[in-house]
Every structure is written in C-alpha cells, then in structure tokens.
Structure 1
Amino acid sequence: MEEHFILHFSTPRIALSNAPHRGGLTTANGFFFMMVPKNYSGDYKADCLAFERERGLREFVGFMTAADIGKILSTAKSGSVTAYVTAGITNPAIAGEVPPPWRPGTINIVLVIEEGLTVGAMANAIMTATEAKTYTLLRLGYNATGTTSDGIGVFAFEGEKEWAGTATELGINIGKAVRKALEESLKKWEGKGVHFPPTAR
C-alpha cells in the first residue's frame, strides 16, 4: 500500500477546505493525503509545499494525517458525490467541551462533487458532511463529535446550485457517502488493534 494518497482531477475544480496546504477558497487540480509520523511537530506549510513540489504537483490542496493511509483510506459514492475518508480517533473531542490532552489522530473528509455549486452550497455541503460525521461517531459508540484536528474539503465545479442541506438530493447523497466511508475507515482503524482512550467509547 502507498503511504500517501494523491488524486488528480481531469479539469480544475473550486475548492473550499480547512486543509493545511492551500486551504480556504481556491481552485485545485487535485488533492492529497500526506502521511506524517505520529509524533510529527514539523513546519506543516513547508513540508506540504515540499511534498507537492517533489511529486511534480501544482495547485493541489493537501491534508495531513498520522494514520496509515494505505490501510484506512475508504471511499464511498452516492449520486454525484464521492467521499474520501481517513479516520484516526485517538484524540476524540466534543464541541464546546475542553478536550483531553492532545494525541495524534485526525478524521479527514474530502467530498468530490460532480456538479456545479455556488460557494454558499459548498459551505452547506461542509455542514451536511459534519452532521453525517458526528452522527456516525455517536451511532458507533464514540463519545465524541470529532477529533481536535479534523480536516474537511469540498471540490466541485463552479455553478448555480445553491443548496446542499439535508432536505436536498445533493445533501442526502453527501450524508450517505460520508456515513459509509467514515464507518468503513473507522472499522479498518479499529481492526489494527488500536486501544481506545477512556473518552473514545
């Protein structure tokens, strides 16, 4: 298995994310999941840029994780939406509560949507994906709404579709894809013999 994951788009897309590399609102030719050591404390901006340049990539959005990407990456497709998820949850957290001492562990969720969206709809898609993530964690028995270092990104074409909430067909597809891919990734992660901290289950 590869220790990193790179996806090239056939044509550039609009991207909205909190990625450590080229996060925010931008255009992208693809994205990558970059694997880092579990005790990583480097210069993430410089390291992501070096990763991109060393592989001949240009204008990619980059995410980082200490999880074994080759073993835990999961994808799921529903309608026009494909979700790419890497899940590690050794540092679970509940929104609004002081988290336990930090440990490496991240849930990365990337949505590639084969539709034309407004920026508002892309923000709506992030909201829907986050709801699906939290529901999946709670349903599987994790006492958490996420981790302290989660990453999310939406990639779509520029267009006129304005909504991606839970009442829309697009939002339903986002929810289905995220739930399936995240559950699969978590089960792969659990299968590696990971021991859960007390707050995780």
Structure 2
Amino acid sequence: MGVLLEKNEDFIVGSFDKSFITISSSFYRGGYGRRNGFFILRVSKNFNKNPYVIASNFEKSNNLKNFVGFLTAVNLKDNLFYIDDKKFFVLITLGLGHICIPARSCKKSMTINIVILLKDNVNFACAMDLLNVAISTKVYSLMETGNGVGTPSDSFMISFNEKKEKQFCGFATLNGRELSKRILKLMNMAIKQWNK
C-alpha cells in the first residue's frame, strides 16, 4: 500500500497504488466511496470562484479519476508536512486564521487539511475510531497552542482496505496511539512553521 506524491508550491497530487474505501468531508468527491487518491490546490486568500469547477477542471486536465479534491491558500512548498511509513501515510497542510470556538460563529479564514491512508487491514468501525483519534488530536494540538479548535473550513480524508483483521482502534489501542503520535508531530511542526 502506498502513495505516489507529486508536489510543488501550487498543488499536491497523491496517487494510490490501488483504490481504497474513503470517507472525506471535502467539497469535491467527499462522502463515502472508493477513491484513487487526492489533490490539494492552492488558491488566493480572497478566492471567491466556484471551487467545484476549479477542482473538476484540474482533475480532468491531469487525467485523474475519482480523486478527492481540497483547497488551501497556503504555499504548499512551505506548509506541507507528511509521514509515510509501514503503518500510515499522514499528510497535513495548515493555515491558521480566525480562531474557532465551539458553539460560536467564526469568520472564514484559512484551512487545515488532513489526509490519512491506513496500511493495516481494518474494519469500518476501526477506521472510524482512527478518524476520531485524528480529529481529537488535531483539536488538542490547536488548543495547547492557543489556536481554538480549528478553522471554519477544515477538511479530512481517511482511506483504508476494509477487512476484519483489526476491529478496535481507539486511543486505548496501539494503532490509535501510533496515529495520534504522528498527527501530533505533524500538527506541531505545521503550527511552528506557520508562526515563523
């Protein structure tokens, strides 16, 4: 299981070596289904065009099929952080703006994108456990550094090969702790870079 990355300051394309079951909150090919990879496009800070059209045109012009699309306003050369090892592929892009506090409105500004590929075979419940671990760890890292719980447009994607080999993957499990360590490391690196 692997991801082939193509990246520069304006876009990232991550192509899977096969299709994976994917759950995503992204505006473009989000939801639930089999996906072949993802891309992240850099847009201007005052971007006000139709994001679906931008993503669709990029997908078609690069001969991509069933890729999840994300947007960001950050320079992807400086604000891309990822880990690719035997258990996980985890990628984060981070831009911080207005702090979001639960149950309060917050202005739209910047975004955090988190992409995860699980390399162990897991069942659906285990994958959802790990998604919960990832989001909880993201929130923890932000609150520890005084950045609220996120931004108004944070997006995630988690992909996996569904089999019943692993059924429990929360914080109490080795898989949960290992993913949390990776998310925390990348978030701390990204926040430090953003604050430079």
The verdict on a shared fold, with TM-score over 0.5 as the criterion, is yes
CA shift for structure 1 position 164: 2.2
Deviation at 1:91, TM superposition (A): 2.4
Q: State whether structure 2 residue 145 is matched by structure 1 residue 145.
A: no
C-alpha deviations, 1:16-42, integer Å up to 9, x for none?
A: 110111101111111111111111111
Structure 1 residue corresponding to 2:129, chosen from 124, 129, 149: 124
Equivalent in the alignment of 2:99: 92
Aligned-pair Cα RMSD in Å:
1.5
Which one-letter code corresponds to 2:56 in the other structure? Answer: L
Would you identify which runs of 4 or more consecutive aligned residues in structure 1 move more than 3 Å?
none
Aligned-partner SS, 2:82: strand
Task: Indicate the residue corresponding to 1:180 in structure 2.
Answer: 185
Q: TM-score, normalised by structure 1?
A: 0.87
- 1:19 matched to which residue of 2? 26
Q: Pick from 136, 159, 167: which aligns with 2:172?
A: 167
The answer (yes or no) to whether the contact 2:91–2:116 under 8 Å persists in 1 is: yes
Report the Cα offset of residue 77 of structure 1: 4.7
> What code does the residue aligned with 2:71 have?
M
**How far, CA to CA, are the matches of 1:105 and 1:55 in structure 2?**
26
Q: Percent of aligned positions with the same letter in both sequences?
A: 27
Distance 2:48 2:129 in 1: 32
Structure 2 residue aligned with 1:69:
76
- Aligned to 1:147, the other structure's residue is in SS state coil
Give the 3-state SS of the residue equivalent to 1:97 in structure 2: coil
Q: Which segment drifts farther, 163-172 or 74-83?
A: 74-83
Partner of 2:4: none
- Where structure 1 has 5 or more consecutive residues not aligned to the other structure, the ranges are 192-201
Is the 2:109–2:151 contact (alpha carbons within 8 Å) kept by the matching residues of 1?
no
CA contact (8 A) 1:39 1:104 kept: no
Q: Is the 8 A contact 2:119 2:161 kept in 1?
A: yes
1:109 aligns with 2:119: no
Name structure 2 gaps, 5 residues minimum: 1-7
Q: How many residues align?
A: 188
Distance 1:174 1:97 in 2: 29
